[in-house]
Structure 1
Amino acid sequence: MKKLLYVLVAVIIAVSCFTVAVSADDGRTLTVVSVTEKSITFKYTGAKAGDNNWVGVYTKDASVTPDAQSETSSFYVYLADGDGEYTIEFDKCLYTRDNKDTYAPGSFWRNVENPVLADKQENYKLLWLGGASWYETLAQAALPAASQGGGDNPSTSDGALAVAIVAAAAAGAVVLAKKKH
């Protein structure tokens, strides 16, 4: 019974710690923490003062270059300097057509009329943009595939579940090995 409890705890820890992280060459990191039908939560590290830091939600095939001087994100937020975490709640983002952009850290915006992702979440990514042009790609992170069952539960992928199962099996093996000696 104790072994089963250890395995269960290992599975819960492994699944609850699921993240998708991407690190840039200069130490910046962008980590997708959770995705629901109504929001995306992410963490970031390394936002430097004066770098015009912001993160946008883009289709996975979108490409933004400093020369273009334009982009089309669905949603975006300006980052505070340093490290932080934001939840982009789609229906709480100000619509750019109806409001003047303030460029203030922590302000949430949308370029789409309907405050929802128009396609499956795995068809989107986060792009951290900034620099002198405002359009240099500083880091990016893909959104994971939606979990089965829908709703507002954070998403996990089959890969995260496989990691959880392996972690649980390893925890069980450790418990068994300790009992044999």
Structure 2
Amino acid sequence: MAGGFSDTELAQLRNRFKRDAGLLLNPESENDEKSKEKADSKPLPRLNRHSVFWILASISLTYYVDFFGVILENEEIKSWWFNVGLVLLTVCLCLALFCIVYLEWLKGIQHYDQEYPAIPPITTSAFIAASFSFNIALWPVWSFFTPVILFTQFMGVVMVISLLG
């Protein structure tokens, strides 16, 4: 015994230091282990109960409240706020298409948020402002149900898009 350690404890400590030193000197082996773990793990199924629920809820709500009929024909909608919401939503969709189609598909940039760090906060801000605008515009029609209706529609669209991707 040297300093309170047995020979087996010293051997275990020595082996651990060798392994850790090997990982520090050869970091590819750690990445190889992580990539093997990723390859072994199964991806989550795109169609699950959660996505089916939101898609069916969105479809049912669209039918029940005559969503598109109300949007096109109702005179109570505050058109200025609705138009602001449409412009902001168009900004969000244009930025998303820029990221997905141009940066990811054409340029091959996978981490576009690192290449263009201003895109995520601009898109998020525009989307939040658009949701507020739509809520203000449609409040006279559906009252306190407006945020619930719009959130359900949003989730349904997101789930349909996730099935496509």
- TM-score normalised to structure 2 length: 0.27
Higher strand share: 1
TM-score by length of 1: 0.25
Q: Structure 1 or 2: larger helix share?
A: 2
Greater relative CO, 1 or 2 (CA 8 Å, sep 6+):
2
Query: Which of these two proteins has the greater Rg computed from alpha carbons?
Result: 2
